[in-house]
Amino acid sequence: MINLGAAPGGWSYSALKRGARVTAIDNGPLKGPVASHPHISHLKVDAFKYRYNRSHPADWLFCDILEKPEVILELLHEWLSRRWCRRFVVNLKVGRTDPILLLKKIRDTR
Protein backbone atom coordinates (compact mmCIF):
# COMPACT_ATOMS: atom_id res chain seq x y z
CA MET A 1 0.00 0.00 0.00
CA ILE A 2 1.17 3.51 -0.79
CA ASN A 3 -0.05 6.25 1.54
CA LEU A 4 0.33 9.77 0.16
CA GLY A 5 0.11 12.42 2.88
CA ALA A 6 0.77 9.77 5.51
CA ALA A 7 1.71 11.85 8.56
CA PRO A 8 0.95 11.44 11.38
CA GLY A 9 0.08 7.85 10.39
CA GLY A 10 -3.56 7.02 11.14
CA TRP A 11 -4.42 5.46 7.77
CA SER A 12 -1.07 3.65 7.69
CA TYR A 13 -1.62 2.24 11.17
CA SER A 14 -5.07 1.00 10.22
CA ALA A 15 -3.61 -0.82 7.21
CA LEU A 16 -0.69 -2.20 9.22
CA LYS A 17 -3.10 -3.68 11.79
CA ARG A 18 -4.71 -5.58 8.91
CA GLY A 19 -1.40 -7.05 7.72
CA ALA A 20 -0.45 -4.61 4.96
CA ARG A 21 3.05 -3.47 4.12
CA VAL A 22 2.97 0.31 3.81
CA THR A 23 5.10 2.88 2.05
CA ALA A 24 4.28 6.17 3.79
CA ILE A 25 4.98 9.28 1.72
CA ASP A 26 5.10 12.55 3.66
CA ASN A 27 7.58 15.28 4.58
CA GLY A 28 6.16 15.24 8.10
CA PRO A 29 6.95 12.77 10.87
CA LEU A 30 5.02 9.61 11.63
CA LYS A 31 3.95 9.36 15.26
CA GLY A 32 3.18 6.68 17.81
CA PRO A 33 3.46 2.96 17.11
CA VAL A 34 3.30 3.43 13.33
CA ALA A 35 6.65 5.24 13.31
CA SER A 36 8.57 2.15 14.42
CA HIS A 37 6.42 -0.59 12.90
CA PRO A 38 8.52 -3.20 11.06
CA HIS A 39 6.24 -3.23 7.98
CA ILE A 40 6.34 0.49 7.23
CA SER A 41 8.77 2.36 5.06
CA HIS A 42 8.63 6.14 5.49
CA LEU A 43 9.89 8.24 2.58
CA LYS A 44 10.24 11.88 3.59
CA VAL A 45 9.34 13.40 0.23
CA ASP A 46 6.60 15.63 -1.14
CA ALA A 47 3.67 13.46 -2.23
CA PHE A 48 3.28 15.52 -5.41
CA LYS A 49 6.90 14.88 -6.40
CA TYR A 50 6.97 11.19 -5.54
CA ARG A 51 7.15 8.86 -8.54
CA TYR A 52 6.23 5.22 -8.18
CA ASN A 53 9.03 3.23 -9.81
CA ARG A 54 8.17 -0.42 -9.37
CA SER A 55 7.45 -2.89 -12.16
CA HIS A 56 4.01 -3.85 -10.79
CA PRO A 57 1.20 -1.59 -9.57
CA ALA A 58 0.55 -1.05 -5.88
CA ASP A 59 -2.48 -2.95 -4.62
CA TRP A 60 -3.77 0.18 -2.88
CA LEU A 61 -3.19 3.92 -2.99
CA PHE A 62 -4.42 5.94 -0.02
CA CYS A 63 -4.35 9.70 -0.38
CA ASP A 64 -5.28 12.09 2.43
CA ILE A 65 -3.66 15.41 1.55
CA LEU A 66 -4.96 18.83 2.56
CA GLU A 67 -5.20 20.40 -0.89
CA LYS A 68 -7.85 21.62 -3.33
CA PRO A 69 -9.93 18.73 -4.71
CA GLU A 70 -8.96 19.59 -8.29
CA VAL A 71 -5.27 19.22 -7.44
CA ILE A 72 -5.88 15.85 -5.76
CA LEU A 73 -7.92 14.67 -8.75
CA GLU A 74 -5.01 15.58 -11.05
CA LEU A 75 -2.69 13.54 -8.83
CA LEU A 76 -5.10 10.61 -8.85
CA HIS A 77 -5.42 10.87 -12.64
CA GLU A 78 -1.64 10.56 -12.94
CA TRP A 79 -1.59 7.44 -10.74
CA LEU A 80 -4.43 5.84 -12.70
CA SER A 81 -3.21 6.75 -16.18
CA ARG A 82 0.29 5.42 -15.38
CA ARG A 83 -1.27 2.29 -13.81
CA TRP A 84 0.70 2.78 -10.61
CA CYS A 85 -2.13 1.37 -8.45
CA ARG A 86 -4.95 -1.15 -8.74
CA ARG A 87 -7.36 0.37 -6.20
CA PHE A 88 -7.54 3.65 -4.32
CA VAL A 89 -9.09 5.56 -1.47
CA VAL A 90 -8.88 9.32 -1.81
CA ASN A 91 -10.10 11.85 0.73
CA LEU A 92 -11.21 15.07 -0.99
CA LYS A 93 -11.31 18.15 1.23
CA VAL A 94 -14.31 19.90 -0.25
CA GLY A 95 -14.32 23.08 1.86
CA ARG A 96 -15.34 25.94 -0.46
CA THR A 97 -15.79 23.72 -3.50
CA ASP A 98 -19.32 22.99 -4.69
CA PRO A 99 -19.61 19.23 -4.03
CA ILE A 100 -22.20 18.71 -6.81
CA LEU A 101 -19.95 20.29 -9.45
CA LEU A 102 -17.01 18.30 -8.12
CA LEU A 103 -18.94 15.02 -8.42
CA LYS A 104 -19.93 15.94 -11.98
CA LYS A 105 -16.29 16.64 -12.82
CA ILE A 106 -15.24 13.28 -11.37
CA ARG A 107 -17.94 11.49 -13.34
CA ASP A 108 -16.97 13.28 -16.57
CA THR A 109 -13.35 12.11 -16.36
CA ARG A 110 -14.25 8.44 -16.89
- Residues noted as catalytic: 93
* CA torsion through residues 71, 75, 81, 87, sign: negative
Residue 23 pairs in a beta bridge with 2, 41
Q: Are 47 and 65 in contact (CB under 8 A)?
A: yes
Question: CA geometry: angle at 76 spanning 60 and 7, to 5°?
Answer: 65
Sign, CA dihedral 95-22-52-55, equals negative
* Helix (H) / strand (E) containing 72: helix 69-81
